[in-house]
Copies of this chain bind each other. A is one copy, B any other.
Amino acid sequence: MEVYEMEVKEIRIGDLCPATFINQKIDKIKESVRKGLAVNALSGGVDSSAVTVMGYIALGNRLKTYFIDTGLMREGEPQQVATYFEIMGIPIEIIDAQGRFFDALKGLTDPEEKREAITRTFYKDVFADLIRQSGARYLLQGTNYTDVEETVAGVKRQHNILEQLGINTEEQFGYRVIEPLVQLRKPAIREVAKALALPKAIYNRPPFPGPGLAIIVKGEVTPERVRIVRKATKIVEEVLSDTGAFQYLAILHEDKFTGVRQGKRDYGFQIEIRCWESADAKTGLPTRPSYDILDLLAEKIPTEVPGVVSVTYNITKKPPSTIEAE
């Protein structure tokens, strides 16, 4: 039986009782997987974290949770996430797959091709191997309602919307996908995460692109370019974390700009900062930070991130912009 209908119906936050929802979904996971084994990939975001806890409650040690280090994570992220789940007593395994992702991304500049390469590497290469080794036939995923909606509308391809696009994961990849959060948008998922007793650092964590830093690097994704955007991301998150914004990110552009250092020409990079006010990522307004905060960002980034000579702030709404860079 299907865990969700192909026609996904949203549960609005006002109609959500987190405890009831969690119990129902845990029962459905049990019902689907029965005596089998399931796996899931934890990114540390609120969606995959909630799914991990629900899956672990439903299946105990019959759930195997992998944290796949794609090389596209924020600074210190793999260690941080491992620590949180260790404290909660949920076993997770870190898989170093950096080389495979950078190989797959080599030479690609189109954002759709990059997402596609990451999806394929994630599911078909790395994860399919892990599932084969584990013997599991079920994959738990944190797909949410906004992901589905945007994929159906053709705005962008989310990395985890295989079945909605008519891709039969069982046939193609050897496993079945279960998406317990597919009827909820982000704020509702935060309520679920809170009810699951996840740490605040997780349920209040601003969303971050699923394919990680690859999406906020324009042009080719190389280890060096990822290092640059990772440093800029750290600064942006430190400076903007107190603003209560829905999401904030640093984007490394491919365009280069003439700068000047010690009176000499320095042809370098530009970082674009986006900071959003949004309820659900469906629409968004750029926040209006004080110019002192923008000054601080424009001072710190070129000073602390090698090669950056220019910093801009996004002022466009979604639509016509999107939240993430691409």
User: CA separation between A97 and B317, bound complex, in Å?
Assistant: 40
Given A218-B255, A312-B312, the answer on whether A155 and B317 have CB atoms closer than 8 Å is: no
A256 CB, nearest partner CB in chain B, Å: 8
Partner of A319, one of B261, B273, B325: B261
Contact B156 A326 (CB under 8 A): no
Q: With A218-B255, A299-B317, A302-B316 given, can you name 5 additional A-B contacts, CB distance below 8 Å?
A: A258-B322, A258-B324, A260-B322, A268-B320, A291-B315
Contact A319 B260 (CB under 8 A): yes
Asked if A180 is at the interface of the complex by the 8 Å CB criterion, the answer is no
Q: Which residue of B lies closest to A295 (CB)?
A: B315
Asked if A297 is at the interface of the complex by the 8 Å CB criterion, the answer is yes
Contact B297 A259 (CB under 8 A): no
Interface residue tally for chain A (C-beta within 8 Å): 48
Contact A155 B315 (CB under 8 A): no
Partner of A266, one of B261, B272, B316, B320: B320
Complex interface residues of chain A between 82 and 128 (CB less than 8 A to chain B): 111
Contact A155 B316 (CB under 8 A): no
Contact A312 B260 (CB under 8 A): no
Contact B257 A255 (CB under 8 A): no
Contact B261 A320 (CB under 8 A): yes
Complex interface residues of chain A between 256 and 305 (CB less than 8 A to chain B): 257-261, 263-266, 268, 272-273, 286, 288, 291, 294-295, 297-299, 302
